[in-house]
Amino acid sequence: MAKITMRQAISQALWEEMERDPQVFIMGQEVGVWGGTYAVTKGFYDHFGPERVRDTPIAEAAIIGSAIGAAMTGTRPVAELMTINFAFSAMDHIVNEAAKLHYMFNGQMVLPLVIRTVGGGGRQLGATHSQTPDAVFAHFPGLKVVAPGTPADAKGLLKAAIRSNDPIMFIEHATLYQVRGDVPDGDYIVPIGKSTVQRSGDHVTIVTYSKMLELSLKAADELAKDGIEAEIVDLRTLRPLDIEPVIESFKKTNRAVIVEEGWKSFGVGAEISAQIYEQAFDYVDAPIKRVTQKEVPLPYNRDLEQMALPQVEDIIKAVKEVL
Amino acid sequence: MEKSEHLNLYQQMVVIRILEERSAELYQQGKIGGFLHLYIGQEAVSTGLISARKPQDRVITAYRDHGVAINCGLSAREVLAELLGKATGVSGGKGGSMHLADVNKNFWGGHAIVGAHLPIAAGLALGDVYQKQDGVTICMFGDGATNIGYFHEALNLSKVWKLPVLWVCENNQYGMGTTVERASAVSEIRLKADGYAMKNDNVDGMDIMKVREKALEMIEEIRSGSGPQFLEINTYRFRGHSMGDPERYRQQEEIRKWQENDPIGIYRKYLMKQKIASEEELNEEDKKATEIVEDAVHFAESSPEPAAEELFKNIYVEEGR
């Protein structure tokens, strides 16, 4: 066990999997000579060489399309999209190919493919580079969508993703790379499709994931000062969604706040709250609240951007409203 | 080339022709759903092309895929059963007409989004390079696909990475109902490959022997390390784009002119003129082809529908919904 950053945890997972399995290789923009635009693959090119750490042209459809083809032949590509905003240029291949081929050809085609990408706002990158469209990807059966909130989960989930035979969107958060946490050494695997309780409490259930886990934990610490104990369920995987720990927690607290960085309309919170109402209606003591990004394209100006993004205070306020 | 091989190729072309004609009937009877894109008129293209491949060479194509499937060695039975959506279809009735594939025969589909399979083809070739296999990926697409971005991304990547791909444009003169001239900045499609400094050529797609000869030459050059190459094959579809095509965009006279160049007729004449096969022998092959297709129709019609529990199978390899 060592205290390392999210960046190091992800890097470690990639490195260990490449050492373990020669079929694993990395491809994407600036993953090689540059060392990754978020420095995750620094040193990989020199160690593993240009065949296994492949710099690509700026051509997202070609990156994802060719990664799909290579995966179909039995290799295990980890294709990197520099940001999730650029995934829209590869949307056809993610949605119409990666998510469909296994089913459409009745299991003939197997796609051990990981699409590593980075989402989230808060870095003054403007509307086109700051989105959190995780729910969009979670909409499609055939695709798995993973979004870790801690360094340990990042390592364990990425290793699980690389070993999986299904196509997986692995969504990292741009402002979590420097976050530190205890990460088990060596072969540490976190199963895909398992939510987990990150903090126990009896008064309210906060359902969240990725960057918003960090804010939710801060909010819970503040609330504890007022004697309010929040239980935090971290989804970790959006599809397949593991709703059980959410329902279990809700049946105990009877109150829920769902915190996501994306927009409220048709979002993760909409899905979670619907499932709570469907599965635990008799346990509802207060309307479920959602804390989300405001419904605007994210602006560049620092203050305006922060006004649009969910804040710790918003979570505290929402919790107090449901109590 | 052995006589038996000629007869085999001839039979494949006739099987495709009859299978397509019977499919059109089954479609009109409401037994085939969705879209149906017939390959009639283009039989020499894939038959000649795929006859030039070795077993390790992968084939991937667009949605006009019935003929390609037959040439890759899929049986008429499993093709027709798939068109009818039956459990015995090559994809268990889940894919349909536009999504035929059999990976055991190195046929990788059957892709229905125009141009989207081109980057995938580059990836198949990348997989071979990565695993140090000597296969060549043959990627077929229509003239319409050369106007979409994927085409350019895929050609560029294949050239940058020297991937063993034979890009094959089946230029049948129309993208749906729009002529090549109205949709493409250059009507000689192969010139687009010049933009990627890629060796390119063209060939008459109504003459199977010309297609085969050119394909043999290019595939072996690619296998020897030339990097990707581009082949434009000029052809014509005798039927509409799909079964729902009103065909307002072309004159009957134009169709008749092309039909005088029927690829099956051309091959027949060649085989007789070269004294490879007699008329009787070819008629015998026609008869066999008819029997193969009739057997397939019977097989498909009498096959069971997929079981209800198939609905949720193969969404993922591992657990999950």
CATH classification at residue B302: 3.40.50.970
Q: Which of A129, A172, A203, A260 is catalytic?
A: A129
Report the mean per-residue pLDDT for chain A: 97
User: A with B: how many residue pairs have Cβ under 8 Å apart?
Assistant: 154
Nearest Cα to B88, choosing from B245, B249, B297, B303?
B303
State the amino acid at position B191 in one-letter form: L
CB contacts, 8 Å: B149 with chain A: 61
> What is the reported pLDDT for B320?
60
Q: What average pLDDT score do residues A279-295 get?
A: 98
Q: How, if at all, do strands A204-208 and A230-234 pair? A: parallel
| Closest residue in A to B104 (Cα–Cα) | A108
Nearest Cα to B99, choosing from B43, B35, B167?
B35
Nearest Cα to A206, choosing from A279, A261, A259, A166?
A259
Over 60: is that where the pLDDT of B44 sits? yes
Q: Does residue B315 fall inside a structural domain? A: no
Show the 3-state SS of chain B: CCHHHHHHHHHHHHHHHHHHHHHHHHHHCCCCCCCCCCCCCCHHHHHHHHHCCCCCCEEEECCCCHHHHHHCCCCHHHHHHHHCCCCCCCCCCCCCCCCCCEHHHCEEEECCCCCCHHHHHHHHHHHHHHCCCCCCEEEEEEHHHHHCHHHHHHHHHHHHCCCCEEEEEEECCEECCEEHHHHCCCCCCCHHHHCCCCEEEEEECCCHHHHHHHHHHHHHHHHHHHCCEEEEEECCCCCCCCCCCCCCCCCHHHHHHHHCCCHHHHHHHHHHHCCCCCHHHHHHHHHHHHHHHHHHHHHHHHCCCCCHHHHHCCCCCCCCC
Q: What average pLDDT score do residues B255-277 get?
A: 92
- Choose among B117, B131, B318: nearest Cβ to A75: B131
Query: pLDDT (tens digit, 9 = 90+) per residue, A166-225?
Result: 999 999 999 999 999 999 998 999 999 999 999 999 999 999 999 999 999 999 999 999
CB contacts, 8 Å: B153 with chain A: 57, 59, 61-62, 65
Residue B208, min C-alpha distance to chain A (Å)? 29
Q: What average pLDDT score do residues A246-264 get?
A: 98
Give me the domain span that covers residue B254.
Answer: 3-307
Q: What average pLDDT score do residues A99-118 get?
A: 97
Considering only CB atoms, which residues of chain B are within 8 Å of chain A? 91-92, 94-95, 99, 101-103, 108-111, 113, 116-128, 130-131, 149-150, 153-154, 156-157, 160-161, 313-321
Q: Is there a contact between B120 and A69 if contact means CB atoms under 8 Å apart?
A: yes
Q: Is there a contact between B116 and A96 if contact means CB atoms under 8 Å apart?
A: yes
Q: Is A263 helix (H, G, I), strand (E, B) or coil?
A: strand
Q: Are B278 and B272 in contact (CB under 8 A)?
A: yes
Query: pLDDT (tens digit, 9 = 90+) per residue, B76-101?
Result: 999 999 999 999 999 999 999 999 99
- Choose among B99, B116, B314: nearest Cβ to A93: B116
Q: Does residue B238 fall inside a structural domain? A: yes
CB contacts, 8 Å: A69 with chain B: 119-127
Query: pLDDT (tens digit, 9 = 90+) per residue, B1-15?
Result: 999 999 999 999 999
Q: Give the other-Cβ count within 10 Å of A39's Cβ.
A: 13
Measure the CA–CA gap between A76 and A68, rounded to whole angstroms: 9
Nearest Cα to A120, choosing from A147, A93, A90?
A147
CB contacts, 8 Å: B69 with chain A: none
> What is the reported pLDDT for B81?
98
Residue B270, min C-alpha distance to chain A (Å)? 38
> What is the reported pLDDT for B112?
95
CB contacts, 8 Å: B111 with chain A: 97
Q: Is there a contact between A74 and B103 if contact means CB atoms under 8 Å apart?
A: no
Q: How many domains, in total, are found in chain B?
A: 1
Q: Does residue B316 fall inside a structural domain? A: no
| Closest residue in B to A59 (Cα–Cα) | B153
- Give the strand order in the sheet containing B137-142: B107-110, B58-61, B137-142, B165-171, B229-234, B199-204
Over 60: is that where the pLDDT of B321 sits? no
Query: pLDDT (tens digit, 9 = 90+) per residue, B154-192?
Result: 999 999 999 999 999 999 888 888 898 898 999 999 999
Q: How, if at all, do strands A114-119 and A76-81 pair? A: parallel
Check if A60 is active-site.
yes
The dihedral of CA A285, A291, B321, A188: what is its sign? negative
| Closest residue in B to A108 (Cα–Cα) | B103
Place of tokens 């470690």: A12
CA atoms within 13 A on the CB side of B109: 29
Q: Does residue B318 fall inside a structural domain? A: no
Contacting residues for B104 by C-beta, under 8 A, at least 6 apart: none
CB contacts, 8 Å: A102 with chain B: 314-317
Contacting residues for B70 by C-beta, under 8 A, at least 6 apart: B12, B15, B16, B19, B76, B79
- Choose among B119, B131, B317: nearest Cβ to A66: B119
Q: Is there a contact between B321 and A240 if contact means CB atoms under 8 Å apart?
A: yes
Q: What ipTM, to 2 d.p.?
A: 0.95
Q: Are B51 and B77 in contact (CB under 8 A)?
A: no
Q: Are A169 and A176 in contact (CB under 8 A)?
A: no
Q: Does residue B74 fall inside a structural domain? A: yes
The strand pairing partners of A145, in sequence order, are A169, A239
Measure the CA–CA gap between A139 and B61, rounded to whole angstroms: 28
Q: Is there a contact between B153 and A59 if contact means CB atoms under 8 Å apart?
A: yes
> What is the reported pLDDT for B163?
98
How deeply is A101 buried, as exposed, middle or buried, from its count of CB atoms within 10 A (0-12, 13-18, 19+)? buried
Place of tokens 């020199």: A46
Q: How far is CA A285 from CA A255, A260, A279, A282, in A?
A: 6, 22, 14, 8
- Choose among B95, B122, B160: nearest Cβ to A69: B122
| Closest residue in A to B156 (Cα–Cα) | A57
- Choose among B110, B117, B126: nearest Cβ to A70: B126
CB contacts, 8 Å: A165 with chain B: 317-318
Interface test with B, best of A24, A75, A96, A108 (most B CBs within 10 A): A108
> What is the reported pLDDT for B246?
81
Q: What is the helix (H) or strand (E) element at residue A63, kind and residue range?
A: helix A60-72
CB contacts, 8 Å: A191 with chain B: none
Query: pLDDT (tens digit, 9 = 90+) per residue, A44-94?
Result: 999 999 999 999 999 999 999 999 999 999 999 999 999 999 999 999 999
Check if A313 is active-site.
no
Q: Does residue B195 fall inside a structural domain? A: yes
Which DSSP symbol is given to A199? Answer: E
> What is the reported pLDDT for A51?
97
Q: Which domains does chain A have, with CATH numbers?
A: 2-183 (3.40.50.970), 196-322 (3.40.50.920)
Q: How, if at all, do strands A196-199 and A230-234 pair? A: antiparallel
> What is the reported pLDDT for B221?
98
| Closest residue in B to A167 (Cα–Cα) | B316
Over 90: is that where the pLDDT of B248 sits? no
Interface test with A, best of B90, B316, B319, B321 (most A CBs within 10 A): B316
> What is the reported pLDDT for A55?
98
Q: Does residue B317 fall inside a structural domain? A: no
- Choose among A66, A73, A165: nearest Cβ to B157: A66
Q: Is there a contact between B124 and A69 if contact means CB atoms under 8 Å apart?
A: yes
Measure the CA–CA gap between B222 and B166, rounded to whole angstroms: 7
- Structure tokens, A188: 């540490």
Q: What is the DSSP string of A110-166?
A: ----EEEEEE---SS--GGG----HHHHHTSTT-EEE---SHHHHHHHHHHHHH-SS
The strand pairing partners of B142, in sequence order, are B170
- Choose among A23, A105, A239: nearest Cβ to B109: A105
> What is the reported pLDDT for B260?
83
